[in-house]
Amino acid sequence: MTLTEKILARASGKTHVRPGDNVWVNVDVLMTHDVCGPGTIGVFKREFGANAKIWDRKKVVIIPDHYIFTADAMSNRNVDILRDFANEQQIEYFYDVIDDPKGHWRFDAAKGNGQRQFGNRYSGVCHSSLAQKGHNRPGEILFGTDSHTCQSGAFNQFATGIGNTDAGFILGTGKLLIKVPETMRFLFEGALPKGVMGKDVILHLIGEIGFDGATYRAMQFEGPGVASLSMDDRMSITNMAIEAGGKNGIFPCDRKTLDYVNARTAANGTKSTFEPAEIDADQSFVYDKTFDLSALEPTVACHPDPGVRKLAKELGHIALDRAYIGSCTGGKTSDFLAFAEIVRGKTVKIDTFGVPSTTEVMDELKATKWDGQSVWNILASAGVRLTENPGCAACLGGPVDTFGRMNAPLKCISATNRNFPGRMGHKESQVFLASPYTVAASALTGKITDPREFIG
Amino acid sequence: MAKTITSKVFVVRDNIDTDQIIPAQYLALVPTIAEEYEKLGSYALIGLPDDQYPVKFVPEGTIKTPYQIVIAGRNFGCGSSREHAPIALGAAGVEAIVAESFARIFFRNCVATGELYPFDSGLRLCDIVKTGDEATLDFDNDTLTVNGQTYVLKPLGDVRPVIDAGGLFNYARQSGMIAAAE
């Protein structure tokens, strides 16, 4: 069996499953956020009753992250709906925006996004937070009400996005009926060359198989090249499995996985026992192809979908209005460090916005010093507009006052994950997806630029 | 009971993602709150680029669409897992989508909510049919008849009784899989 089949077989109490089988799986973690949580809670109450109890208060993780730092009253209300439910159900892992469990969240527009407006428990983007707070464990099953839930597959977890109705069903029962997907294998050899990141790998692969090339399928990444990839690179890769239509993306578990997971579960006191899924000798795939990581180059997905693949070096004619770094895909500490490496000591030529994925990322950028100066200040000195309020921000547009949102038909190069029309705001705006290195180099020149020109 | 729908169709092309079906700025609306459900319907497909889609899906000043059937190309509903997407279409009055192919989460959300019948047709009708053409969708024979031509669709199969029942929960109760609500 493939990694996905092994995990689904175990979670459904079977010795063997095949693609196409429909199985009831026991859920290890259900994650929801402020955009889909209120509707999920609504479904749960409507279907199981106003006084119903969730199946397991330690297995539900609620992470407000989408529409937090906005004066939109309904968005603020939605965070309050999450808080009421977390209190009522005594949910153990609720990363609230404010500290007062009886309080109401109201964004202070006068203070704006320049100043921190969150309490001690707030974390930021849900997928990054799941990893940092020790909710990703090898061999387990994680569902989330967000399509980029597939990111957690970097940790050898079966993880996929679902809607409110399915999530409401899980809240009441702890189970879900799912179809076992066919698996596509992407076998990696070699190591990434300088200036090329995990983001380039997944943009290359989506271009290879097309925007729907993995629809209803699992994407399994393995081979000798995996060992050289950092956990952050692996997260960038699995994060975007959905952009090829994939049900999930998954890596094997190795030393790097274990080190990360053990450190994070210990730090946050989350469950620390798990059983990784190992690679079987006997696996069958619907697609099986080898990729030499050392041959990859900085890659861009052009407007209007993630499958329009080009090399950065071919796109020098495209003038840009804006650059953006942030999100689950491109807002990690390593992403900002790569960005800072390029812009350090220089000045960006176009409006450039930076949104750390989580509060931990922001703290690390402030604490990391290069020649006595924090990376945070290096970025600010280069002209990057940074927010002190981590979250999803303009990756998905959001309410009109969202930090970095495109409220005009601009062209933006972005370290985020999706570029269908209107994704980052204005429906005639255009988004070009690229690695943080490429976004940084392009911010300096005002046109799409191969970052290797700036790397010594 | 025999079931057919006759309606004008609205035609869209490939890769209509969830941001075009219901743009992110409207996601603060909670689908399980009745008046917010209606509002979601009024914004259905408002994210389509105006130059490619000059005809409004929901006419200005109204909250319902005159098109009960949507014809689409490849990968309809790709992008986000937001259930607001099938719900917005259902709340606007859409009964069925006949697409060349669907994105996985959207298809599943159609079934789980019982809002829409997603016909995964494999047929590229978006090149043949135009917005405003009148079509008849026959659920029992799995056919779509439009402009004097009858197209045979792949049967809905196992998902039809779930949508007929009104979604996953109703179906699960009817079939005894879960107990009734309190």
Q: Which residues pair with A288 in a beta bridge?
A: A185
Confidence bin at B177 (pLDDT 50/70/90): confident
Q: Does A449 touch chain B (CB under 8 A)?
A: no
Q: What is the pLDDT of residue A232?
A: 98
Token couple for A231: 């956990």
- What angle do the packed helices A333-343 and A231-239 form, to 10 degrees? 100
Which candidate, A345, A299, A360, A340, places its Cα nearest to that of A440?
A340
Judge whether residue B1 has pLDDT over 80. no
Q: Does A163 touch chain B (CB under 8 A)?
A: yes
Which of B20, B104, B168 has the CB atom closest to A165's CB atom?
B168
Cβ within 8 Å, pair A78-B15:
no
**Which residues on B lie below 8 Å from A242 (Cβ)?**
105
Calpha distance A294→A387 (Å, rounded):
35
Q: Closest residue of B to A417, CA-based?
A: B79
Cβ within 8 Å, pair B112-A166:
yes
Q: How far is CA A321 from the centre of its chain?
A: 25
Candidates A151, A166, A243, partner chain B, best to mutate (most B CBs within 10 A)? A166
Sheet with A217-222, strands from edge to edge, namely A248-250, A217-222, A182-189, A287-292
Confidence bin at A244 (pLDDT 50/70/90): very high
ipTM (interface predicted TM): 0.96
Q: Does A327 touch chain B (CB under 8 A)?
A: no
pLDDT tens, A56-115? Answer: 999 999 999 999 999 999 999 999 999 999 999 999 999 999 999 999 999 999 999 989
Which of B25, B33, B103 has the CB atom closest to A400's CB atom?
B25
pLDDT tens, A15-48? Answer: 999 999 999 999 999 999 999 999 999 999 999 9
Q: Where are the alpha helices (DSSP H) in A133-209?
A: 164-173, 198-209
Judge whether residue B181 has pLDDT over 60. no
Q: Does A404 touch chain B (CB under 8 A)?
A: no
Share of chain B above pLDDT 70, in %: 97
Q: How far is CA B118 from the centre of its chain?
A: 6
Q: How far is CA B50 from the centre of its chain?
A: 20
Which candidate, A302, A290, A281, places its Cα nearest to that of A431?
A302
Cβ within 8 Å, pair A397-B24:
yes
Q: What is the pLDDT of residue A114?
A: 87
Shortest alpha-carbon distance between residue B132 and chain A (Å): 24
Which of A46, A216, A420 has the CB atom closest to B20's CB atom?
A420
Q: What is the mean pLDDT of chain A?
A: 97
pTM for this model (two decimals):
0.97
Which of A66, A145, A427 has the CB atom closest to B47's CB atom?
A427
Cβ within 8 Å, pair A161-B15:
no
Shortest alpha-carbon distance between residue B102 and chain A (Å): 8
Q: What is the pLDDT of residue A404?
A: 98
Calpha distance A308→B31 (Å, rounded):
33
Could you give the 3-state DSSP secondary structure of residue B42? helix
Cβ within 8 Å, pair A398-B24:
yes
Q: Does A450 touch chain B (CB under 8 A)?
A: no
Token couple for A205: 């692969």
Q: What is the pLDDT of residue B178?
A: 79
Candidates B14, B22, B25, B106, partner chain A, best to mutate (most A CBs within 10 A)? B25
Shortest alpha-carbon distance between residue B24 and chain A (Å): 5
Token couple for A284: 């069958």
Judge whether residue B180 has pLDDT over 70. no
- What angle do the packed helices B104-113 and B84-92 form, to 10 degrees? 50
Cβ within 8 Å, pair A212-B113:
no
**Which residues on A lie below 8 Å from B178 (Cβ)?**
172-173
Q: What is the pLDDT of residue A456?
A: 73
Are A315 and A287 contacting, i.e. CB atoms less than 8 angstroms apart?
Answer: no
Q: What is the mean pLDDT of chain B?
A: 95
Q: Does A428 touch chain B (CB under 8 A)?
A: yes
Q: What is the pLDDT of residue B176?
A: 83
Q: What is the pLDDT of residue A48?
A: 95
Cβ within 8 Å, pair B109-A165:
yes
Which candidate, B81, B93, B87, places its Cα nearest to that of B30?
B87
Interior/surface letters B121-160, b for 16+ CB within 10 angstroms, e for the rest = bebebbeebebeeebebbbeebebbbeeeebebeebeebb
